[in-house]
């Protein structure tokens, strides 16, 4: 028998890890709810036709496709089916892929909105926390199965939504002790203006997918790729004289407008980002918000503001991204419904918090109470006590076997329990319990009601 193992790029999460993950998810979810976002879930499986063509050429290559369980003879003309059966009389031949695993949560969300447009009220705010899958090469901070934590508002063109998302970023990262996060902001129209200013005979989508590799292959790598696609090298060099980054503020927006020679396409980006700053007003942001014209986010559906958050010197790429999409629902038959959203990369954030030991001190503690006993009679008494503790909202475990008391304490220490309640014959006869603090070794006898007060304090 082969040794059991996980598929490459996937992981198991034990209780200690799940406490940390739940801390992250509960922190971010709490911010989402504070801004009026409501929960949503969609299936892991989507029709492949719903996924393909939504993520650009590179994204399509990373889609996990699922083969049909039908025999191919059920999917072709009868005459062809008979011919196949004659050649392969006993062989099952799988049909073509018709299903795929979720690549992200945004496209399934757009599909949901179109499918349920008569049941939801616009503008519709939703948050969604689920697994997604990508057929990528596993490496540090990059997995084949990972969790995304999304918030989107759809059915509104207002840039108030972009301002809200920046505030959500700020509050979520501060609450996670990641105040050194840099939130990079750009606008799709800046990228279109670059193509226009440089007079590139080149699709914008292909240009942005190449520019999106800047942090991986560097300036020279981007230039090599663009020249291999027919762009003149002097135009590539000029590109990097325009691209710059600076704090997102009114003054720097004016500077970028001049760099683009007041290009009409770039002016749309200037106007939108100015409105975002207007909505932010005097909000006090702890994280750094930076206008970065090299930020491309190589997904084809972005049309306006785009976001990407990084943690400097973490050795991990972006930990969150998102942007405005004006007509993603249009591919599903519902035209002119604009939306904007962001997605937190929970797995990458976990890696950073773990490496920098930024977890709260109490996450290693098992909050349950263990009831220990000496024999079957005291176990029955302990079981009665457990029901009253649980009714009071206290997580309680009754040790299930009649082993020596020291073995039960060993079990409590191994699972991280702080308190054990010892139920002996005296406690049973007096209606009390012995409360033992396993951290400092102290032990006191209390009535059940006093024990509950002590544990809830």
For the segment 157-172, what is each residue's pLDDT rounded down to a tens digit? 999 999 999 999 999 9
Burial 109-142 (b: 16+ CB within 10 A, else e): bbbbbbeebeeeeeebbbbbbbbbbbeeeeeebb
| Long-range contacts from 37-41, C-beta under 8 angstroms, 24+ separation | 37/125, 37/126, 37/127, 37/151, 37/153, 38/125, 38/126, 38/127, 39/126, 39/127, 39/128, 40/109, 40/112, 40/126, 40/127, 40/128, 41/128, 41/130
Kind of pairing between the strands at 182-187 and 366-373: unpaired
Q: Measured between alpha carbons, how far is 55 from 215 in angstroms, rounded to an integer?
A: 19
> Could you tell me the pLDDT band of residue 94, with boundaries at 50, 70 and 90?
low
Cβ atoms within 10 A of the Cβ of 245, count? 17
Q: Are residues 272 and 383 in the same domain?
A: no
Among 321, 336, 356, the domain boundary falls at 356
Among 336, 356, 376, the domain boundary falls at 356
223: tokens are: 């230039």
Q: How far is CA 38 from CA 33, 172, 369, in A?
A: 7, 17, 34
In a domain, 352, yes or no: yes
Instruction: Looking at 77-159, list the stretches that DSSP marks H as alpha helix, in order from N- to C-terminal side.
Output: 78-87, 106-115
- Answer for the pair 37, 151: CB distance below 8 angstroms, yes or no: yes
Q: Are residues 405 and 311 in the same domain?
A: no
In a domain, 51, yes or no: no
In a domain, 386, yes or no: yes
**Which range, of 134-143, 180-189, 237-246, 272-281, averages the lowest pLDDT?**
237-246
* 178 closest CA partner among 324, 354, 328: 354
In the DSSP assignment, the letter for residue 9 is: T
Residue carrying structure tokens 């049309």: 303
Q: Are residues 314 and 417 in the same domain?
A: no
Q: Are residues 208 and 352 in the same domain?
A: yes
Q: Provide the number of structural domains found in the chain.
A: 2
291: tokens are: 């206008």
CATH code for the domain of 289: 3.30.930.10
Q: Are residues 421 and 319 in the same domain?
A: no
Q: Are residues 384 and 421 in the same domain?
A: yes
Q: Are residues 199 and 267 in the same domain?
A: yes
Full-model pTM: 0.84
With 70 as the cut, is the pLDDT of residue 68 above it?
Answer: no
> Could you tell me the pLDDT band of residue 93, with boundaries at 50, 70 and 90?
low
> Could you tell me the pLDDT band of residue 2, with boundaries at 50, 70 and 90?
confident
Kind of pairing between the strands at 124-133 and 339-345: unpaired
Q: Are residues 150 and 267 in the same domain?
A: yes
In a domain, 56, yes or no: no
Q: Are residues 387 and 332 in the same domain?
A: no
In a domain, 212, yes or no: yes
CATH code for the domain of 448: 3.40.50.800
Q: Is 393 left (phi over 0), alpha (psi -120 to 50) or beta?
A: left
What integer best gives the mean pLDDT of the chain?
A: 89
Q: Are residues 247 and 336 in the same domain?
A: yes
pLDDT, tens digit, 9 for 90 and up, residues 316-340: 889 999 999 888 788 888 998 999 9
Q: How far is CA 291 from CA 241, 348, 394, in A?
A: 16, 23, 49
In a domain, 84, yes or no: no
Q: Are residues 273 and 388 in the same domain?
A: no
Q: Are residues 146 and 197 in the same domain?
A: yes
Among 298, 323, 356, the domain boundary falls at 356
> Could you tell me the pLDDT band of residue 76, with boundaries at 50, 70 and 90?
low
Which residues form the domain of 438? 366-456
At 70 the pLDDT is: 62
* 202 closest CA partner among 192, 189, 190: 192
> Could you tell me the pLDDT band of residue 216, with boundaries at 50, 70 and 90?
confident
In a domain, 48, yes or no: no
Q: Measured between alpha carbons, how far is 240 from 156 in angstroms, rounded to an integer?
A: 34
Q: Measured between alpha carbons, how far is 277 from 249 in angstroms, rounded to an integer?
A: 7
Average pLDDT over residues 367-377: 95
Q: Is the dihedral of CA 158, 160, 166, 167 positive or negative?
A: negative
In a domain, 70, yes or no: no
């Amino acid at each position: 028998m082969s040794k059991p193992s996980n598929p490459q790029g996937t992981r198991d999460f034990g209780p200690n890890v799940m406490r940390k993950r739940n801390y992250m998810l509960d922190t971010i979810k709490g911010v989402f709810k504070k801004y009026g976002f409501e929960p949503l879930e969609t299936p892991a499986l989507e029709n492949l036709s719903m996924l393909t063509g939504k993520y650009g050429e590179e994204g399509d290559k990373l889609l996990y496709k699922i083969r049909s369980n039908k025999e191919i003879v059920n999917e072709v003309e009868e005459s062809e089916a008979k011919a196949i059966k004659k050649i392969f009389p006993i062989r099952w031949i799988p049909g073509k892929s018709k299903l795929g695993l979720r690549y992200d949560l945004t496209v399934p969300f757009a599909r949901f909105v179109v499918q349920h447009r008569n049941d939801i009220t616009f503008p519709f705010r939703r948050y969604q926390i689920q697994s997604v899958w990508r057929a990528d090469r596993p490496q540090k901070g990059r997995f084949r199965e990972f969790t995304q934590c999304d918030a989107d508002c759809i059915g509104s063109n207002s840039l108030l939504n972009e301002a809200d998302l920046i505030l959500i970023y700020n509050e979520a990262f501060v609450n996670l002790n990641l105040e050194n996060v840099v939130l990079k902001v750009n606008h799709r129209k800046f990228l279109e203006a670059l193509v226009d200013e440089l007079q590139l005979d080149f699709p914008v989508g292909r240009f942005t997918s190449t520019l999106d590799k800047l942090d991986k292959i560097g300036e020279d790598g981007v230039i090599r790729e663009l020249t291999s696609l027919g762009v003149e090298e002097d135009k590539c060099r000029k590109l990097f004289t325009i691209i710059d980054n600076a704090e997102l503020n009114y003054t720097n927006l004016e500077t970028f407008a001049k760099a683009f020679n007041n290009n009409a396409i770039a002016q749309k980006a200037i106007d939108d980002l100015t409105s975002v700053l207007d909505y932010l007003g005097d909000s006090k942001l702890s994280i750094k918000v930076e206008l970065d014209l090299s930020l491309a986010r190589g997904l084809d559906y972005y049309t306006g503001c785009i976001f990407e958050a990084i943690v400097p010197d973490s050795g991990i790429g972006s930990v969150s991204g998102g942007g405005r999409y004006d007509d993603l629902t249009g591919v599903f038959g519902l035209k002119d419904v604009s939306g904007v959203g962001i997605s937190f990369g929970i797995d990458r954030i976990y890696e950073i918090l773990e490496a920098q030991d930024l977890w709260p001190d109490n996450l290693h503690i098992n909050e349950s109470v263990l009831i220990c006993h000496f024999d079957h009679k005291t176990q029955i008494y302990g079981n009665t006590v457990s029901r009253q503790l649980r009714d009071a909202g206290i997580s309680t475990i009754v040790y299930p076997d009649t082993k020596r008391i020291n073995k039960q304490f060993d079990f409590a220490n191994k699972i991280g329990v702080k308190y054990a309640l010892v139920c002996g014959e005296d406690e049973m006869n007096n209606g009390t319990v012995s409360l033992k603090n396993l951290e400092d070794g102290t032990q006191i006898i209390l009535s059940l009601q006093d024990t509950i007060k002590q544990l809830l304090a």
